[in-house]
């Protein structure tokens, strides 16, 4: 069974404090985009879980796909095994949620294939144990996330047909990005009717100082006429929202000449 695992961008990310478990408390706006990985599932009569990938570096037991599958098999005493192949297209450690999306995809599809009949609330409870963004990927579309990002409020779709993603092929971990953040005295808010004024990422300032390439990308996207230009999540992917397709094309060509990874994507509505 072939399944599609979509990426995300964060149109807004504000850090509002620290939680008792030492995680940062955030307000964020998630947006699904049509960049995706593909996961191919096949049941096995043997109890083994096997994971293969177009990127061999991801074929290990630390991969969230494997960890979620192993948890479900153990927790619910599943007798059958599963073979999973990951065809990877979402850049790794890039602020696009690829690993979290894969984990949510695995959770949803093994619930069906192993006939676990888990209800939505239980799926969300399991998801929250493995990462802050996985809960969003169980739903997709547009959503406002609170706490660690796992408390979600669905939002109305925002038409965003022309988004340019740019990644300088730098790996940035979430832990690194949050170590560099300064918690503000007054938190910013998001207005979906004013994207130009509302798109914001509190993690961006620290990363731009640490990685000049990120600073240059954001400035360059703006110079080509993007309505908004920010970093997604913990980086290193940056994105621009364009209204003019010619400006978008010129901007993408600029970064392609620098051998940066680029992709033109659109926002997509909730799939479920």
Residue 20, CB half-sphere, CA atoms under 13 Å: how many?
Answer: 0
Verify whether residue 133 is a known catalytic residue.
yes
Looking at 8, 40, 45, 256, which residue is catalytic?
8
8 is catalytic: yes
Helix (H, G, I), strand (E, B) or coil at 260: coil
Q: Give span(s): CATH 3.30.230.10, the chain.
A: 2-154
Tokens standing for residue 232: 């997604």
Q: Which ranges in the chain are annotated with CATH 3.30.70.890?
A: 163-265
CATH topology of domain 163-265: Alpha-Beta Plaits (3.30.70)
H or E stretch at 212: helix 212-223
Distance of alpha carbon 8 from alpha carbon 51, whole angstroms: 23
Render each residue's pLDDT in the chain as its tens digit; 272 residues. Answer: 999 999 999 999 999 999 888 789 999 999 999 999 999 999 999 999 999 999 999 999 999 999 999 999 999 999 999 999 999 999 998 999 999 999 999 999 999 999 999 999 999 999 999 988 999 999 999 999 999 999 999 999 999 999 999 999 999 988 899 999 989 999 999 999 899 899 999 999 999 999 999 999 999 999 999 999 999 999 899 999 999 999 999 999 999 999 999 999 999 998 75
Active-site residue identified among 87, 133, 215, 257: 133
Q: Give the pTM.
A: 0.95
Q: Residue 55's closest CA among 47, 63, 43?
A: 63
Domain 2-154 CATH (choose: 3.30.230.10, 3.20.10.10, 3.40.50.10680, 3.40.640.10):
3.30.230.10
């Amino acid at each position: 069974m072939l399944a599609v695992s979509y990426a995300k961008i964060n149109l807004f990310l504000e850090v509002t404090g620290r939680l008792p478990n030492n995680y940062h408390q955030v307000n964020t706006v998630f947006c699904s985009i049509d960049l995706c990985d593909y996961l191919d599932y096949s049941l096995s009569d043997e109890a083994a879980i096997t994971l293969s990938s177009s990127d061999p570096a991801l074929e290990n037991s630390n991969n969230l796909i494997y960890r979620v599958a192993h948890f479900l098999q153990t927790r619910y005493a599943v007798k059958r095994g599963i073979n999973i192949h990951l065809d990877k297209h979402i850049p790794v450690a890039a602020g696009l949620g690829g690993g979290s999306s894969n984990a949510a995809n695995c959770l949803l599809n093994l619930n069906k294939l192993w006939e676990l009949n888990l209800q939505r609330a239980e799926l969300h409870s399991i998801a929250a144990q493995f990462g802050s963004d996985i809960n969003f990927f169980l739903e997709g579309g547009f959503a406002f996330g609170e706490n660690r990002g796992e408390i979600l409020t669905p939002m109305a779709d925002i038409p965003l047909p022309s988004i340019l993603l740019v990644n300088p092929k730098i790996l940035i971990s979430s832990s690194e990005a949050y170590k560099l953040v300064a918690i503000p005295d007054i938190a910013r808010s998001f207005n979906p009717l004013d994207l130009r004024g509302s798109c914001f990422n509190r993690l961006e300032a620290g990363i731009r100082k640490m990685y000049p390439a990120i600073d240059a990308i954001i400035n360059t996207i703006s110079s080509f006429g993007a309505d908004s230009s920010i970093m997604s999540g913990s980086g290193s992917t940056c994105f621009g929202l364009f209204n003019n397709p010619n400006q978008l094309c010129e901007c993408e060509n600029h970064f392609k000449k620098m051998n940066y990874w680029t992709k033109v994507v659109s926002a997509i509505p909730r799939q479920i």
